[in-house]
Amino acid sequence: MTTESLISEIKKKNSFLCVGLDVDLEKIPVFLLKEEDPIFSFNKAIIDATHQYAVAYKPNTAFYEAYGLKGWQSLEKTIKYLNENYPEIFTIADAKRGDIGNTSSRYAKAFFEDLGFDSITVAPYMGKDSVEPFLAFENKHTILLALTSNEGAFDFQTKKVGDEELYKHVLKTSKDWKNSENLMYVVGATKAEYFEEIRKNLPNSFLLVPGVGAQGGSLKEVCKYGLSENIGLLVNSSRGIIYASNDIDFAAAAAREAKKMQQEMNTIIDGIR
Amino acid sequence: MTTESLISEIKKKNSFLCVGLDVDLEKIPVFLLKEEDPIFSFNKAIIDATHQYAVAYKPNTAFYEAYGLKGWQSLEKTIKYLNENYPEIFTIADAKRGDIGNTSSRYAKAFFEDLGFDSITVAPYMGKDSVEPFLAFENKHTILLALTSNEGAFDFQTKKVGDEELYKHVLKTSKDWKNSENLMYVVGATKAEYFEEIRKNLPNSFLLVPGVGAQGGSLKEVCKYGLSENIGLLVNSSRGIIYASNDIDFAAAAAREAKKMQQEMNTIIDGIR
């Protein structure tokens, strides 16, 4: 998907909501467990119920790998379902991959070509030649970890490298990589006070923002400094939406929570017009 | 597996060779492609032929994910085959994972419990709470990326954080994490000049050393400064061994190359006794 298509979908829906599909068999409604593929059945119901409020879906691969072959199959079915039924929706493989060049190419092929994701999250630690193989794919997006939402972000990411924090050094350095126009960045909602400076450095880049809701981040705070001219944000919510109910009404409850977030986003977008 | 068992296997075989099972269907012998599971057939033959010279096997997950469901199945069969037939051999999932706490727990469960790997490689960028879920597993080992073998290592890993390089800061900081006795580190063979200092900081830790062979690293150089009292090294070779021939003799050729490395290692071990 082109960035333009993503922006147009955001404007059409007045939403920059990303729904995190982090499926845990212990948290989904019990009656789904007798289905042939409970994870896919759950995802399908959630997607069908929330798609009018969301512009992106983000399965985290850990939750699928945790169920081995079956989990991998559920992931394949989920992305196929999204691409066939909602091709206008941006898809993110939250995989946090990254390896030496020829190996990163393998991951890129797996997620972009074979599975058909629009984007993948990638860790920057191994540097340029570990990321560029992902950037080489046209109209595919590489979402580089910059400042993550967890406490551990303060262990290395905010440490000073020369006169700037490591995450800023990552932002700056990566702008010079080949096909860097295909880069987006992960910035945690729990680090709202950092958004002003990040936006100054990256006026146009899209930021994928986890950490709203269960992790404690505030949508308003993030938007205050994080919004760009083209919105430029994808704010993710996982648990707050997909586990709004674990009863027969789970999909309707998820839709209600997604709608609530979309309306908050709509109000914010209206406020800056 | 306990570290003691690994050390005892190293001493028994006079080898600290790790064989990287990075299987590419375009590089394996053509006649294997008609097998039901060519990747597993290839791995089985390589393992059977080289196991007396190697103490560890390391499939890189990218090469399996690149083949989707079938690849994941081949990975499962490979680790199962290793654990059932060669339980004395140390197994490494070269997965370079790492995510926020509850997500890292998922990866740890998948690789340690379900697949049954002895260890996994993990990226340090997200800090302590992204790594500790892996460290929580008893007799399982977390191999943290420190100084990798690729050129991109110089983008961030060798940048000064305060008065020390980032990778040194990673080494030092991680020693204070809970269950840090379960840590090992990745240090690339292409960075041989760094081993002396690293060994000073980590006199007893095991280092997983990729980059010998195709990537240009030298076994002698690595050993000169990298060996510890208990050897403390796992030196990996992938392409140089598994693709020594792509004809009917591929397993014998792999055995020959593995034996050559084991003999070099034996000579080095004898030299320090």
Q: Which of residues 184-213 of A touch B (CB under 8 A)?
A: none
Local structure of A235: helix, strand or coil? strand
User: How confident is the model over A207-225, as a mean pLDDT?
Assistant: 88
In this predicted structure, what is the pLDDT of residue A214? 73
Q: How far apart are CA B54 and CA B272, in angstroms?
A: 20
In this predicted structure, what is the pLDDT of residue B271? 83
In this predicted structure, what is the pLDDT of residue B193? 86
| Residue B63 domain boundaries | 3-272
In this predicted structure, what is the pLDDT of residue A273? 65
End-to-end CA distance of chain A: 26
As given in the structure block, the two tokens for residue A272 are 């800056």
The 3-state secondary structure of chain B reads CCHHHHHHHHHHHCCCEEEECCCCCCCCCHHHHHCCCHHHHHHHHHHHHHCCCCCEEECEHHHHHCCHHHHHHHHHHHHHHHHHHCCCCEEEEEEEECCCHHHHHHHHHHHHHHCCCCEEEECCCCCHHHHHHHHCCCCCEEEEEEECCCHHHHCCCCCEECCEEHHHHHHHHHCCCCCHHHEEEEECHHHHHHHHHHHHHCCCCCEEECCECCCCECHHHHHHHHCECCECEEEEECHHHHCCCCCCCHHHHHHHHHHHHHHHHHHHHHHHC
User: How confident is the model over A101-111, as a mean pLDDT?
Assistant: 96
User: How confident is the model over A211-217, as a mean pLDDT?
Assistant: 80
Strand partners, B183: B142
User: How confident is the model over A259-269, as a mean pLDDT?
Assistant: 96
Give the count of beta carbons closer than 10 Å to the beta carbon of residue B136. Answer: 15
In this predicted structure, what is the pLDDT of residue B184? 98
Say which residue, B272 or A15, is predicted with more confidence. A15
Q: Does residue A154 belong to the interface with chain B, where contact is any CB pair within 8 Å?
A: yes
Instruction: Give percent above pLDDT 70 in chain A.
Output: 100
Report chain A's mean pLDDT, rounded to a whole number.
96
A137-196 pLDDT tens trace: 999 999 999 999 999 999 999 999 988 999 999 999 999 999 999 999 999 998 888 999
In this predicted structure, what is the pLDDT of residue B192? 82
Ranges in chain B, pLDDT < 50? none
Does residue A9 surpass a pLDDT of 80? yes
Q: Which of residues 54-113 of A touch B (CB under 8 A)?
A: 60, 62-63, 65-66, 68-69, 72-73, 76, 94, 96-101, 103-104, 106-107, 109-110
Q: How many domains does chain A contain in total?
A: 1
CB contact (8 A) between residue A114 and residue B150: no
Active site amino acids of A: 96
B211-222 pLDDT tens trace: 887 778 889 989
A&B contacts, CB < 8 Å? 180
Q: What's the CA angle centered on B206, arms A170 and B91, to 5 degrees?
A: 90
CB contact (8 A) between residue A156 and residue B173: yes
What CATH number did the domain enclosing A12 receive? Answer: 3.20.20.70
Pair A153, A192: CB distance under 8 Å: no
A17-67 pLDDT tens trace: 999 999 999 999 999 999 999 999 999 999 999 999 999 999 999 999 999
CB contact (8 A) between residue B125 and residue A129: no
Q: How far apart are CA B70 and CA B78, in angstroms?
A: 12
In this predicted structure, what is the pLDDT of residue A191? 82
Q: What is the ipTM of this complex?
A: 0.96
Looking at CA atoms only, how far is residue B248 from chain A in angstroms?
Answer: 26
Which of A101, A148, A170 has the CB atom closest to B156's CB atom? A170
In this predicted structure, what is the pLDDT of residue A213? 76
Pair A124, A144: CB distance under 8 Å: yes
